[in-house]
Amino acid sequence: MAAAVPPFERFYEAHSTEVFRFLGRRVGRDRAEDAFQETFLRALRAYPRLEHGEHLRAWVLTIASRIVLDDVRRRRPEGELPELATEDERPAFEELAPLTDELPPKERAAVVLRYGYDLDYQEIGGALGSSEAAARQAASAGVRRLRKERQ
Amino acid sequence: MTDMLSPALDERFREAAAAEGLLDVAYDVLEDTPIGALLVGVTDRGVCRITFDPEPERELDLLARLYGSRVLRASRPVDRLRLELDEYFEGRRRHFDVETDVRVMPEFNRRVLAELARVEYGDTTTYGALAARVGNARAARAVGTVMNRNPVPIVLPCHRVVGASGKLVGYGGGLDRKEQLLRLEGALL
């Protein structure tokens, strides 16, 4: 049986520090405060629709990632193209969100965290509540699926 | 450490969550009332929970099961109750103005609790008398059970219900507290 959705207080206590650090690394400490509040307000709005308490850590980090994307989009002047991370042809993370919308949630999270945020597989495994190997597998399955879809 | 979540930011989120009406229950623990720590819970309809000697983890699960999973500690929604309790304990308040929310209780319990709410400060009544007021004078024992499960003691004054002999009989928060509350109200010398 899947774990029950915990009371929000317990979920918040378990993940707030990590989410705040994650946001601090992505948008800087100043903007992290607003992003933090927005992340947990969004989580709170969506919370009654959760059907089980599995993968809540990955879930809230995904919400935080979306807020980072929104923040980046807002700050980019109109019409300016996003910078591409060129050295290894990884798309910049703001490019990834629309591309990965169709992926299964776990693959999507793995792809975005790996190629968008440059987390290593151990970190991604931690975020998804799975092993390093499973995270690697989810990311490469996601990339394969994306290639297939784009052909 | 600079990347720690500051207490101010934590509070800011909790306040925003309550202000946006996103909580099923806001709760807080009042650490040092004259009768010890109290956990108090509030919904958008009123006070739904007052617990003596609370075990917060257990209370969280209970509140989530009864009212919904969005249970969060937040002090602002509890401010009015906190103030009224302070005044009550200082002897400056004889009647609570906060609303109560006992919708999760069975119908019989709600009827008994509604009658209980009319027992005045400084007065006492008996289990049998309260039973008679809800139309079944022989239901004293059932009324005792309702008192024992009263989700909002103090505000709904189950401490004012005593045995037919005048003995205090029982109290969810312990007989010492019942005695203390009745003394505060001048119902016991």
Q: List the CATH number of the domain containing B115.
A: 1.10.10.10
Q: Cα B175 from chain centroid?
A: 16
ipTM of the complex: 0.91
Domains, chain A, in order of start with CATH, read: 1-75 (1.10.1740.10), 81-151 (1.10.10.10)
Whether residue B71 lies inside any domain: the answer is yes
| Contact across the interface for B69 and A29, Cβ inside 8 Å | no
What CA–CA distance (Å, rounded) separates A128 from A7?
Answer: 20
Same domain? B38 vs B77: yes
| Contact across the interface for B72 and A8, Cβ inside 8 Å | yes
Amino acid at B158: C
The pLDDT score that the predictor gives to residue A90 is 40
What CA–CA distance (Å, rounded) separates B143 from B128?
Answer: 8
| Cα–Cα separations (whole angstroms), residue B81 to B57, B88, B113, B136 | 22, 10, 19, 33
Range of the domain at B178: 107-184
Whether residue B94 lies inside any domain: the answer is no
Give which of A94, A96, A16, A2 is closest to A52, Cα–Cα.
Answer: A2
Which of A5, A29, A44 has its CB closest to that of B17?
Answer: A44
| Contact across the interface for A37 and B16, Cβ inside 8 Å | yes
The B25-33 sheet, strands edge to edge:
B47-52, B36-42, B25-33, B71-73
Strand B161-162 relative to strand B25-33: parallel, antiparallel, unpaired?
A: unpaired
Pick from B2, B3, B62, B71 the residue to mutate for testing the A interface (most A CBs within 10 Å): B3
What phi-psi label fits residue B58: left (phi over 0), alpha (psi between -120 and 50 degrees) or beta?
alpha
Whether residue B1 lies inside any domain: the answer is no
Give which of A5, A10, A64, A21 is closest to A40, Cα–Cα.
Answer: A64
**Residues ≥6 apart with Cβ < 8 Å to A130:** A106, A138
Boundary of a domain, candidates B62, B89, B116 = B89
Residue scoring higher pLDDT (B33 or A107): B33
Chain A residue with minimum CA distance to B58: A7
Amino acid at B162: V
Spell out the per-residue pLDDT of chain B, length 189, in tens: 457 889 999 999 999 999 999 999 999 999 999 999 999 999 999 999 999 999 999 999 999 999 999 999 999 999 999 999 999 999 999 999 999 999 999 999 999 999 999 999 999 999 999 999 999 989 999 999 999 999 999 999 999 999 988 888 888 889 999 999 999 999 987
Boundary of a domain, candidates B89, B116, B150 = B89
Same domain? B21 vs B84: yes
Same domain? B75 vs B28: yes
A12 contacts chain B (CB < 8 A): yes
Same domain? B15 vs B62: yes
- Number of domains forming the structure of chain B: 2
| Contact across the interface for A48 and B71, Cβ inside 8 Å | no
CATH of the domain at B85: 3.30.160
Same domain? B73 vs B146: no
| Contact across the interface for B22 and A48, Cβ inside 8 Å | no
Q: Count how many pairs of residues, chain A against chain B, have C-beta atoms within 8 Å.
A: 63
Pick from A42, A44, A45, A60 the residue to mutate for testing the B interface (most B CBs within 10 Å): A44
Chain A residue with minimum CA distance to B11: A37
Indicate the burial class of B52 (C-beta count within 10 angstroms; 0-12, 13-18, 19 or more).
Answer: middle
Same domain? B28 vs B84: yes
Amino acid at B188: L
| Cα–Cα separations (whole angstroms), residue B10 to A16, A41, A150, B7, B157 | 9, 12, 43, 5, 35
Boundary of a domain, candidates B89, B124, B159 = B89
pLDDT class of A85 with cuts at 50, 70, 90: very low
